[in-house]
Each structure stands twice: as C-alpha cells, then as structure tokens.
Amino acid sequence: MGIVKDKFREVSLKVGEEVKELLKEHGDKELGKITISQAYGGMRDIPAMVYETSLLDAQEGIRFRGYSIPELREKLPHAEGSSEPLPEGIFYLMLTGELPTPEIVKHLSTVFAKRSHVPKHVFEVLDKLPISTHPMTQFTTAIMAMQTESLFAKAYRKGMSKKDYWDYTFEDSMNLIARLPRVAAYIYRRTYKDNVHIEPDHYLDWGSNFAHMLGYEEKEFHYLMHLYLTIHADHEGGNLSAHTVHCVGSGLADPYLSFAAGMNALAGPLHGLANQEVIRWIQAMQEELGGGIPSRQQIIDYVNKTMAEGKVVPGYGHAVLRKTDPRFTAQMEFAKKYMPTDELNNIVWTLYEVVPEILGTKGKIKNPWPNVDAHSGALLVHYNLVESDFYTVLFGVSRALGVLAQLCWSRALGFPLERPKSMTTEWIKEFIAKNPA
C-alpha cells in the first residue's frame, strides 16, 4: 500500500476499536450544557464534534497531536540550512499521530511530486475566468474542476463498500495535496505575472517547489513557506473552514467537493481573508497619513477611527483564543531573525503594542490579542509577494494538510452524516415559558 498509507491503516484501526469500546462504556456521559446564548451566538464552546488532528486551548493556543508550535519548530524535520519545519512533517504527524523521521518526510515529498500532475482542463477552466476574478474564487473553481479526478466519486458510483471509504478518501487527499501548489501557482502567475508559468521542480520539497512555481527562489522565502504552510495547516475542528470540510464530507461528498466548500468558507473576511484585509488596512492607513512609518499616536487614532466607523480591526480577536496566537508569535520570531529593520514588520509590531489595550477598553471584545493573520502579510511583502488578494490562497494550500488528514480519519472511524438540531425563535420562546426556572 505504501508506508504512509500502511501506517494510517494500522493506527486508525486501533483507534477505531478504542472508540467502539469507549462508546459502549461511556456513550451516555454528558460533555456539557448548551445555553440559549450559545444557540444564537455562533455555537461557541459547544463540544459537539470529534476532530483528531489538532486541539485548541484558549490560553495556550494550538497543539497538533499534543505538540505546540515551538515544539514542532524544533522537532519536525527541517530543510538543509533552515530551522523551520517541513510541512510534509506536520501532515504525517496529523495523519498518524507520530513524529516523522527525515526519511519519511523525504518520502512524502517524493510521493507528492509523483502525484502532482494537474489535468489540462483545469488550466483551461481557469483561463476562461476574467483576470479580475478574485484568486480565492479561481482557487475553488479549479478545485471543483479537478473533481473529475476523484477516485472516491468513481468508486462510489461503481458501488463501494463502507469499509473502503477511507482508502479512496486517502488516495484523493494525497492527490489533492500534491496538486494544489501547482494550481495555486498557476493562479498567481496568470493573475499577476503576465500568464508566464514556471514548471515544477520535482527534486524540491513540497513547500519549496510551491515557492519556486510562484517565482520566488530565495532560500529565505522557501524557509518562510515551510513555516507558513506548517502553522496554517489546522486549528482544531470548529473553525469555519475545517468545520465546513468536515460537515460537507459527512454526506460523503468526495474530498475535492468537501475541500472546495471549506475554501469558500476560508474566503470570508472574518476568517482566512483577514490576512488580505490586514495588509490592505495597514496600507490604507499609510496612504491616509501620506506614507512612511506612522507614529504610535497616529496608529492609535487610526484604530479608534476604524472602530468608530463600525468596522473590525483585522487580525485581532478570536472566537476561541484569549491570548496572543502562537502562530503570530512564530511569525514575529521569524521576522525578527530575518528582517528586524523592515518597515512594514515594524508597523505590525507597533500595532501589537497598541491595539490590545485599545480593544481591551471597549469591553465587549473577548480577545484583544492578534491572531495568525495579523502578521503573515508583512512577511510576504518583505519578499516582494505584494499581491495581497492572493494571500488567502496560500492559507488554503496549507489548510488542506489538516482538513484532509482529518477527512481520512472521519472516513476511517465511520463518522455519520452531520445533522445538528436547529430551533426557531418561536420554539425557544415556548421552551422558556415551559421552563421558567
């Protein structure tokens, strides 16, 4: 079957048996209670989904299979000369629960390279879209066009046993992850680089090949891509893109359809599109102030103005986190190492000094601290990747690693169709009348 698939089969069978036992013994235990505020308030904190690949703690941030971001930067295999983790490594960790050896990571780079062929019609579909089409719309369109390649959909149509769902989901997921950098790079080059494309270099790792196809050969940029593609990969199951993939996949939509749905969710400005919004917002501030580095007071005034106009300050706040996002910290560490005097990055750091205090005084904002999107754009601009509308596509390529590893788990554990209960306001009023206490 292949070493990664064999390993996944072995661990998922074992966990499957454990889950059966656990449900038999403890299936009736309550995980918590649900309030009416939660039902109206975006279902925050309702423990209602099992998602294996990562777990988020409000104070500490994300852990991937128990490992924090600082631990992963140290323990996952690196490219030569770099101290940043290779994204193939986090994929293996999320899929199997074990840290990979450098040999396994190398093997995965080769496997992704072998599976990376994108059929011609996908590029033809993209070529038919107006050049002004937002890169995220191009991205989901291309993923949908690639659905012709779904082995899961073909096998299901022929008549597939439930016990084989995981197998075809695994194959589609591997192929999709392998193909996404090529598709994303094609979108970038057609939109911003006169439609001049760069052939893949199959001797490079997955992230470096992506950087190469985008047209960025600087080693440092490749290291940034390794870090970027690792830290954006997953954020437990309740975030909008992961939950959407999980939900759509539960109806046995194949991995292409499920992932495309998740990417539409990622394209919202309160979610993944925030990385684009942050840079646009900083640039608008600079423009309004006549360019250069704004003073601390000018930044404070601009933040207050944004709030007074009824807009959100992009890159700040989070539905779960209540401290600085460790993904922000990892990027800040990278920037302090490689570009300590960079103007835009210094503005990001001044914002970090002033925004939490301002948001904190507003009372209603539960988390005044920066999230992942507050920093990523400034790093990309430093290496001249200035086309901010493309940033969410980079996020999406990374997010594939987590949500597709989980989709394999969802099929291996036989998770059923998702179908939570909804209520009407009339129903809630009657419920309150019947339950006055």
Residues designated as active site: 271, 318, 373
Strands (E), 172-283: none
How far is the C-alpha of 398 from the C-alpha of 396, rounded, in Å?
5
At 339, list the tokens. 């570009």
Q: How far is the CB of 225 from ligand HAX (least distance, A)?
A: 18
- In the list 372, 378, 385, 412, the residue contacting ligand HAX (rule: CB under 6 A) is 372
What is the nearest approach in angstroms of ligand HAX to the Cβ of residue 221? 22
Tokens 């991995």 identify what position? 255
Residue closer to ligand HAX, measured from CB, 166 or 391: 391
User: Binding of ligand HAX at residue 373 (CB under 6 A)?
Assistant: yes
Site for ligand HAX contains 73 (CB under 6 A): no
Nearest one of 288, 346, 283, 276 to 314, comparing CA atoms: 276
Smallest CA-to-CA distance from 200 within 91, 113, 329 is with 113
Instruction: Identify the bridge partners of residue 54 per DSSP, sorted by sequence position.
Output: 64
Q: Are 246 and 418 in contact (CB under 8 A)?
A: yes
Instruction: Give the distance from CA 49 to its chain's centroid.
Output: 18
Does 396 participate in binding ligand HAX (rule CB under 6 A)? no
Under 8 Å between Cβ of 367 and 321: yes
CA distance 144 to 176: 11
Secondary element (H or E) of residue 61: strand 61-64
Q: Name residues contacting ligand HAX, limited to 257-276 (CB under 6 A).
A: 270-272, 274
**CB-nearer residue toward ligand HAX: 286 or 367:** 367
Classify residue 254 as exposed, middle or buried by CB count within 10 Å of its CB (0-12, 13-18, 19+): buried
Q: Among 15, 55, 125, 312, which residue sits at the site for ligand HAX (rule: CB under 6 A)?
A: 312
319 makes contact with ligand HAX (CB under 6 A): yes
Q: Please, what is the minimum distance in Å from the beta carbon of residue 167 to ligand HAX?
A: 31
Nearest position to ligand HAX, beta carbon:
317
Q: Is 182 in the site for ligand HAX (CB under 6 A)?
A: no
Which residues, 352 to 371, sit near ligand HAX by CB under 6 A?
364-367, 371
With contacts defined by CB under 6 A, name the span among 108-116, 316-324, 332-340, 341-349 that binds ligand HAX: 316-324
- Contact assessment for residue 266 and residue 233, using Cβ atoms and an 8 Å cutoff: no
- With 0-12 / 13-18 / 19 or more C-beta atoms within 10 angstroms meaning exposed / middle / buried, residue 223 is buried
Torsion of CA 168, 137, 270, 385, to 10 degrees: 100
How many positions of this chain bind ligand HAX (CB under 6 A)? 21
For residue 139, the minimal CB distance to ligand HAX (Å) is 15
Residue 314 interacts with ligand HAX (CB under 6 A)? Answer: yes
Q: Least separation, in Å, of the C-beta of 436 and ligand HAX? A: 28
- Indicate whether 317 belongs to the interface with ligand HAX (CB under 6 A): yes
Q: Identity (one letter) of the amino acid at 350?
A: T
Give least dist CB 347 to ligand HAX, A. 16
The DSSP bridge partners found for residue 21 are none
Least Å from the CB of residue 65 to ligand HAX:
21
Q: Is 351 in the site for ligand HAX (CB under 6 A)?
A: no
Over the window 208 to 247, marking each residue x when it contacts ligand HAX by CB under 6 A and - when it does not, the resulting string is -------------------------------x--------
- Packing angle between helix 326-338 and helix 373-382, nearest 10 degrees? 20
Which CB sits closer to ligand HAX, 249 or 314?
Answer: 314
Task: Output 205 or 236, the one with its CB closest to ligand HAX.
Answer: 236
If we measure between CA atoms, which residue out of 100, 106, 71 comes closest to residue 231?
71
| Conformational region of residue 209, where left means phi above 0, alpha means psi within -120 to 50, and beta covers everything else | alpha
In the complex, least distance from residue 3 CB atom to ligand HAX, rounded to whole angstroms: 33
- Return the number of the residue (100 or 272) whose C-beta is nearest ligand HAX: 272
- Here's the x/- map for ligand HAX, 116-155, by CB under 6 A: it reads as ----------------------------------------
Residue pair 197/186 in contact by the 8 Å Cβ criterion: yes
Token reading at 66:
């128990």
Residue with Cβ nearer ligand HAX (100 or 237): 237
Give dist(CA 94, CA 115) in Å, integer.
Answer: 20
Residues near ligand HAX, by CB under 6 A: 239, 270-272, 274, 307, 312-319, 364-367, 371-373
